[in-house]
Amino acid sequence: VRVHAITNAAAQVFTANLLLATGATPSLTIAADEVAAFTERAEALLINLGTLDEERRAAIPRAIATARSQRKLWVLDPVFVDASPPRLDFAKLCLTYGPTILRCNAGEFMALAEEDASPDHVRAFARGQGCVVALTGPTDIVSDGERIIAIYNGHPLMTRVTAMGCAATALLAAFSALHDDALEAAAAALLVTGIAGEIAAEQAKGPGSFQPTFLDTLFALDPVTLTARGRHS
Amino acid sequence: VRVHAITNAAAQVFTANLLLATGATPSLTIAADEVAAFTERAEALLINLGTLDEERRAAIPRAIATARSQRKLWVLDPVFVDASPPRLDFAKLCLTYGPTILRCNAGEFMALAEEDASPDHVRAFARGQGCVVALTGPTDIVSDGERIIAIYNGHPLMTRVTAMGCAATALLAAFSALHDDALEAAAAALLVTGIAGEIAAEQAKGPGSFQPTFLDTLFALDPVTLTARGRHS
Amino acid sequence: VRVHAITNAAAQVFTANLLLATGATPSLTIAADEVAAFTERAEALLINLGTLDEERRAAIPRAIATARSQRKLWVLDPVFVDASPPRLDFAKLCLTYGPTILRCNAGEFMALAEEDASPDHVRAFARGQGCVVALTGPTDIVSDGERIIAIYNGHPLMTRVTAMGCAATALLAAFSALHDDALEAAAAALLVTGIAGEIAAEQAKGPGSFQPTFLDTLFALDPVTLTARGRHS
C-alpha cells in the first residue's frame, strides 16, 4: 500500500522507515507541483502540519483536492495547533475538507474543538466533523461519532523520541487503505503502535536504542503477540 | 574528500552519516545562493531529485553550472522520475548537462530511457548520454557505454530502509573523486554498499537496527572482507 | 524547559531527540509566520545557520526579534560560515543582535573573528561581542570575556556523526535557560556532551551505533558519573 506523506521535517525519515518496516511504500515530496501526481498513485494521503513552511502551505490544499476528487482517504495530523494561531486557522480550513481521520493529542484537540478531551467530547466532535477522531495519549480514544474504542497500550518512552506520534499517524493512513472501516483501522494502527512501543521499551536501554528497536519490533510483530498484548475496550 | 550533496529531505542525515563513516566530508545546503561556494570547495557534487521543492529547483542548475565550469565530476540520482511528470522533465534537462554518473533503479531508468532495464539497454543509454550508468536492483549493472559490470551483492533488507539508494549514490560520488575511472569507481561503491548491506543484515534484528549496523560495518570494512565477499562479473 | 530550534535539515531530528533525552521539550518550525509564536512560548531560542534557505533567512530575524523583545536568551551556531561568504555576512548581522552564547568551531571562529582560535582570542572576542563564546574542538574553550574554562572530555567518534555539534548547541540553550550564569551553563552543557560522547564511544561498535548509544547515555547520565569523568580547568 502506498502512502503519500506531506509531513514535517523532523518526521519525514522516521515516517518513511515506519511505513517500510510494516511493508507499506512511502513517498514524501512536499513540492506543490508534484503532490498531485504522488497523491494519485498512492492509496492514502497523510497531511501533517508540523514545520508548516510556504512550500507545505501551498502543497497541502493541492494534495487534499486530488485525494477528494478521487474519493481517496486522507488523514490529518494538526501538530502543535495549540502553539501557533496561524497554524490553528490552517488546520480548521483543512478540517472543512473532510479528512477520513483526525489524529491529535489532547492539547491539539482542545485547540480545535474548544472542549477538553473527554471521551464524550471526542465522540461529539467526531460526529460533528463527520470523521473518525483518534486521540492519542496515555489512553488512546478513537471514535467515529457513534462507536468509541479506548486503547491502553503504550509506554512513556514513546514521548521521549521525536515524531513518534507523527509516524504513528502514517500507520493509521496505511491501515485505513487496507480496511473499509476507518474506526477499526485507526484503532488497530494505534494498538500496533502501542504494543510495539511496549515491547521496544522493554528491550531498549533508553530513547536512543528505543527507535531502532521499535522499528525491528514492528517489522516482526505477529498476530499472536498482538492478541496476547492488546488491551482495549 | 568533500562531497556536496543536494539531496532529498529523507536522505540528508543518512547521506551525511554514510559519508562521515567512510571518511568523507559532507555538506548539504540547498540554498540557491550558497551552493556555488559549497560546490567549489567540494571534490564531487551529488544531485538527487527527491523532494524537489522550489529551493532545490533553483539551486540545482547553479550547482551543476559550478561543477561544469570547474570540470568537477557530478552524479545524478533521478529519484521517482517514474512517478512525477514535472520531475521527469527536470531530470531530462539535468541529463543534457552531462553528469559523470547516472544512478537509478529500473523504474527510473525506464522513464528516462524509454526502454526496459536490460544490460544491453543500460549500455546503449550510457553510450548515448556519454556517462556511466549505475543501475541498482537485485543485480546492479554498471556501464560506461563500452564495458559492463554486474554486481550480485546486497540484501532485501536494504529496501526496507528509506534513502539507502540515495545514500549509496553519495558513496559513488566520493569514490569517483578518488579514482580516475568512473566506471570502476561506481562499481566499487556499489560493491562496498552491497557487501556492507549483507553483513549488516546478518547482524541486525530488523530494519531499525539495520541502519546503525550498516554504518558500523562500512566504518570497519577492510580490503580482505571486500575481496572475500565480492561477487561480480 | 522549552527550546525553539531553527536549525539545519541535517540536525533537526537529532536536536529534537537530544533535547527529549535530557527532559527538554523541542519545537522546530522554520516557518517565518510561526516562529514568533513558538519563540514566545519557549524559554530559549537556538539559531543554527546550516542549510540557510529562503524560509530560514526570513524566519531567523523574526525569531531573534521576539527573543530580544522578551529578554529571552538565544544561542547562535554559525555552521560553516567559513565556507560560504553570504552566510558569513548573515552571521555577522546576527551577531549584532547580541546572542547570549555563540557556539562555533575553530574554522567558524576564525571566519568571524579574523583571528586564530587561541584562548586569548576567544576571550577577547567574547568581551568585544558581550556574549559567551563556546568554542568546540579536541579541547573546548568557553569564555564570557573575563573567565575562561577549558574542557577536555570528548571522543573522535563524535566527529563521524553528522550534527553532533549542532545538537550540542541545543543543550547549551536548554542549560542556559535553567541557570543564570551563561558561562557555567555553556561549560556544563559541553562537559555533559563530552562525557556522554566518551561513554558512548566505549560502548558503540562504530558511528552507526554511537548515535543511539549517545542518546541512551545522556538519558541515564547521573551526577556521580559527571563528577568522576569530568576533566576541565
If you write DSSP's letter for every residue of A81-116 in order, what string do you get? TTT-HHHHHHHHHHHHT--SEEEEEHHHHHHHHSS-
Please identify among residues 51-90 of chain C the ones whose CB lies closer than 8 Å to any CB of chain A.
Answer: 55
Q: Which residues of B touch A218 (CB under 8 A)?
A: 206, 208
Q: What is the pLDDT of residue B141?
A: 98
Mean pLDDT, rounded, of chain C? 96
Answer yes or no: are the C-beta atoms of B98 and B68 closer than 8 Å: yes
> How far apart, in whole angstroms, are the C-alpha atoms of residue B106 and residue B137?
7
Nearest to B14 by CA among B50, B43, B39: B50
Neighbours of B (≥3 Cβ pairs closer than 8 A)?
A, C
Model pLDDT for residues B109-139, shown as the tens digit of each residue? 999 999 999 999 999 999 999 999 999 999 9
What is the C-alpha radius of gyration for chain A, rounded to an integer number of angstroms? 16
Q: Is C216 left (phi over 0), alpha (psi -120 to 50) or beta?
A: alpha
| C-alpha cell belonging to residue B27 | 555538506
> How far apart, in whole angstroms, are the C-alpha atoms of residue B215 and residue C207?
6
Residues A58-79 as b or e (16 or more Cβ within 10 Å = b): bbbbbbbebbeeeebbbbbbbb
Provide the 10 A C-beta neighbour count for residue C191.
23
Of A84, A87, A161, the CB nearest to C20: A161
Q: By the CB < 8 Å criterion, does A99 face chain C?
A: no
Neighbours of C (≥3 Cβ pairs closer than 8 A)?
A, B
Q: What is the pLDDT of residue C56?
A: 94
> How far apart, in whole angstroms, are the C-alpha atoms of residue A77 and residue A59?
15
The string of DSSP codes covering B11-32 is THHHHHHHHHHTT-EEE----T
| Interface contact flag, A34 B163, Cβ < 8 Å | no
Q: Which residues of C touch A205 (CB under 8 A)?
A: 213, 216, 220
Q: What is the pLDDT of residue C191?
A: 97
Q: By the CB < 8 Å criterion, does B36 face chain C?
A: no
**pLDDT class for C10, splitting at 50, 70, 90?**
very high
Q: What is the pLDDT of residue A143?
A: 98
**pLDDT class for C188, splitting at 50, 70, 90?**
very high
What residue in B sits closest to A12 (Cα-Cα)? B10
What residue in C sits closest to A13 (Cα-Cα)? C13
Answer yes or no: are the C-beta atoms of C134 and C142 closer than 8 Å: yes
Supply φ then ψ for residue A187, to 5 degrees.
-65, -40
Q: Which residues of B touch A208 (CB under 8 A)?
A: none
Supply φ then ψ for residue C68, to 5 degrees.
-65, -40
- pLDDT tens, per residue, chain B with 233 residues: 999 999 999 999 999 999 999 999 999 999 999 999 999 999 999 999 999 999 999 999 999 999 999 999 999 999 999 999 999 999 999 999 999 999 999 999 999 999 999 999 999 999 999 999 999 999 999 999 999 999 999 999 999 999 999 999 999 999 999 999 999 999 999 999 999 999 999 999 999 999 999 999 999 999 999 999 999 99
3-class SS of residue A197: helix
> How far apart, in whole angstroms, are the C-alpha atoms of residue A63 and residue A69?
10
| C-alpha cell belonging to residue A18 | 515506519
Interface test with A, best of C13, C166, C209 (most A CBs within 10 A): C13
Of B26, B33, B211, the CB nearest to C86: B33
| C-alpha cell belonging to residue C95 | 551577531
> How far apart, in whole angstroms, are the C-alpha atoms of residue C213 and residue C199?
9
Of A86, A159, A209, the CB nearest to C216: A209
The CA-CA-CA angle for residues C29, A172, A147, to 5°, reads 120
> How far apart, in whole angstroms, are the C-alpha atoms of residue B31 and residue B123?
35
Distance of CA A137 to the CA centre of its chain: 13
Burial bucket for residue C229 (CB in 10 Å: 0-12, 13-18, 19+): middle
3-class SS of residue C85: helix
Provide the 10 A C-beta neighbour count for residue C222.
8
Amino acid identity, position C84: S
What is the C-alpha radius of gyration for chain C, rounded to an integer number of angstroms? 16
What residue in B sits closest to C161 (Cα-Cα)? B17
The string of DSSP codes covering C58-77 is HHHHHHHHHHHHTT-EEEEE
Place of cell 555533559: C192
The alpha-carbon gap from C30 to the nearest alpha carbon of chain B, in Å, equals: 14
> How far apart, in whole angstroms, are the C-alpha atoms of residue A44 and residue A71?
10
Mean pLDDT value across residues C64-88: 96
Model pLDDT for residues A67-96, shown as the tens digit of each residue? 999 999 999 999 999 999 999 999 999 999
What residue in C sits closest to B31 (Cα-Cα)? C53
Model pLDDT for residues C14-34, shown as the tens digit of each residue? 999 999 999 999 999 999 999
| Interface contact flag, A21 B207, Cβ < 8 Å | yes
| Interface contact flag, A206 C21, Cβ < 8 Å | yes
Q: Which helix (H) or strand (E) holds C104?
A: strand C101-105
| Interface contact flag, B8 A28, Cβ < 8 Å | yes
Q: What is the pLDDT of residue B196?
A: 97
What residue in C sits closest to A80 (Cα-Cα)? C27
**pLDDT class for C106, splitting at 50, 70, 90?**
very high
The alpha-carbon gap from A78 to the nearest alpha carbon of chain B, in Å, equals: 21
| C-alpha cell belonging to residue B5 | 550533496
Mean pLDDT value across residues A40-59: 95
Q: By the CB < 8 Å criterion, does B39 face chain C?
A: no
| C-alpha cell belonging to residue C151 | 574542557
Of C8, C84, C161, the CB nearest to B38: C84
**pLDDT class for C68, splitting at 50, 70, 90?**
very high
Q: Angle, to 10 degrees, between the axis of helix B207-220 and the axis of helix B12-21? A: 30
Q: By the CB < 8 Å criterion, does A12 face chain B?
A: yes
